Amino acid sequence: MTMRRVVIVGAGPAAMSAVAELRRQDYQGSILVIGAEPHMPYRRPPLSKHPLPTSHAQLALDQAGRAEATWLLGRSAHHLDRQNRVLLLDGGDEIPYDGLIIATGVRARRLPGRLHQGRPEVMTLRGFGDLARLHGRLQRVTRVVILGAGFLGSELAATIRRLGCSVDLVERDRLPLLGPLGPVLAQRIADEHRRHDVRLHLGRTVDRLHGTDRLDAVRLDDGTTLPADLLITALGSIPETGWLAGSGLVLDDGVRVDNTGRAAPGIVAAGDVARWPHPWPAGESVRAEHHDEAVAQGAHVARTLLGDPAPYAHTLAFSTHIHDMRLHSVGFTGKNYRLHVVKEGPGGRMLAEYRHAGRLVGAITHGYIRDLTTTYRDLPARSCHEPSATSPVHAGQRAAQGAGGRGCVEHA
């Protein structure tokens, strides 16, 4: 079928990358990008880091791609009619397509409504609009509770503490970032939080909120009451796939794709919403919530859509800034691997390797970035076409509930 029109649902980094790659591959047809947010694509990782951005311009990606496509912003897809190759938008508009790229990303997981009951002092941080509201709140509060000590929660704790607010960090696990980093580095993160007077409440969760006209306190499940003017929930994310219900696509905590990014004939998916096959072991799949992954996947599925269905392979990498620790990682990391510290220096500087069955699978550093990039740049990519019985699954992915071998690599 001749592709006269490619429609991309989602207007984030994966979409921008897909637009650029379609034009780079000399695609001459029309490209329509539909985005729920009113903003052109931007980087999300800086949203939680110090100093907090104050304008969209500080986060914006290269806007040269604006002229390469038509951007329909502030609109959402409501339903996909695969048989007739039509999208139904909110408001009832019908958008025909020849090729479709799904890049709708994820939304923040929220507290149950029975807990927060619509309180404005209970916030999440996912997009620039959330950040603008957070800026306003932080001007008027002194006591902040953060629920969830993953990358987002830990970064926010460090950032808000630097602003002078008191911070209580509540985490269900026994250490912050235990899954993606493993116990040795997770303990260092915990020590770093305490060194900067962030109060940790580990193995705990929120049970009740107190306050009539405004939030006064947060009660934990062990009965501890924390004074609070603001509660920020950092409980992970949920893929934006509701609009695909009934489409016939395989939805499994994301859109399942094959090793080329294909979800169905003429349909591909990329970025945080896409669940790719993982070769270790057969049947495993993973979503990777990383900016660089979204960019790489967007370009890859654009080529797949144009008839170049090569297997996807990309080396995972992340970075995070928590208080005085700047961690950079490549390859596979986490609690299921053995950590070996290769090099240490003043100020907590360190370079460490992750190994599985004696095999080097990843590396992480605070302070030795040059060593990381020169020594470990050839670590194996997360290839979806080279299965190996001895190769590990990325330990940063959270074990899924039930069957299916699902996992997710948290964004950083």
Check residue 279 and give its pLDDT.
Answer: 53
Q: Write the CB contacts of 159 (distance below 8 Å, at least 6 apart in sequence).
A: 48, 49, 50, 51, 52
Q: Which residue has the higher pLDDT, 303 or 394?
A: 303
The backbone torsions φ and ψ at residue 253, rounded to the nearest 5 degrees and listed phi first, read 50, 50
Mean pLDDT over all residues of the chain? Answer: 89
Domain boundary assignment for the chain: 5-107+238-305, 110-235, 317-403
* Residues 189 and 167: beta-carbon distance below 8 Å: no
- Distance CA(330)–CA(378), nearest Å, equals 10
Percent of the chain whose pLDDT exceeds 70 = 90
Band (116; pLDDT cuts 50, 70, 90)? confident
5-107+238-305 maps to CATH 3.30.1370.160: no
Question: What average pLDDT does the segment 103-132 reach?
Answer: 92
> What CATH number does domain 317-403 carry, 3.90.920, 3.40.1400, 3.30.390, 1.25.40?
3.30.390
Percent of the chain whose pLDDT exceeds 90 = 77
- Distance CA(275)–CA(253), nearest Å, equals 8
Check residue 112 and give its pLDDT.
Answer: 87
Query: Tens digits of per-residue pLDDT, 159-210?
Result: 999 999 999 999 999 999 999 999 999 999 999 999 999 999 999 999 999 9
Band (278; pLDDT cuts 50, 70, 90)? low
Q: Which residues pair with 143 in a beta bridge?
A: 166
DSSP per position, 188-207: HHHHHHHHTTPEEEET--EE
Check residue 357 and give its pLDDT.
Answer: 83
* Angle (nearest 5°) at CA 220 between 237 and 124: 30
Residue 310 clears pLDDT 70, i.e. is over it: yes
- Distance CA(279)–CA(388), nearest Å, equals 7
Q: What is the dihedral of CA 119, 141, 133, 17, to 10 degrees?
A: -120
Query: Tens digits of per-residue pLDDT, 343-376?
Result: 999 999 999 999 988 888 899 999 999 999 888 8
Residue 406 clears pLDDT 90, i.e. is over it: no
Residue 142 clears pLDDT 70, i.e. is over it: yes
How is residue 62 annotated by DSSP? P
Check residue 67 and give its pLDDT.
Answer: 80
Check residue 1 and give its pLDDT.
Answer: 63
- Distance CA(144)–CA(336), nearest Å, equals 32
Superfamily in which the 110-235 domain is placed by CATH: FAD/NAD(P)-binding domain (3.50.50.60)
Question: What average pLDDT does the segment 290-308 reach?
Answer: 96
- Distance CA(393)–CA(373), nearest Å, equals 22
Question: What average pLDDT does the segment 214-231 reach?
Answer: 97
* Angle (nearest 5°) at CA 189 between 137 and 318: 85
Domains 5-107+238-305 and 110-235 share a fold: yes
Query: Tens digits of per-residue pLDDT, 12-41?
Result: 999 999 999 999 999 999 999 999 999 999
Check residue 283 and give its pLDDT.
Answer: 61
- Distance CA(319)–CA(46), nearest Å, equals 11
- Distance CA(362)–CA(182), nearest Å, equals 12
Query: Tens digits of per-residue pLDDT, 321-333?
Result: 999 999 999 988 8
Q: Which residues pair with 338 in a beta bridge?
A: 355
First CA to last CA across the chain, in angstroms?
39
Check residue 269 and give its pLDDT.
Answer: 98
Query: Tens digits of per-residue pLDDT, 39-89?
Result: 999 999 999 999 999 999 999 997 766 788 999 999 999 999 999 999 999
Residue 314 clears pLDDT 50, i.e. is over it: yes
Residue type at 59?
A: L
Q: Which residue has the higher pLDDT, 407 or 216?
A: 216
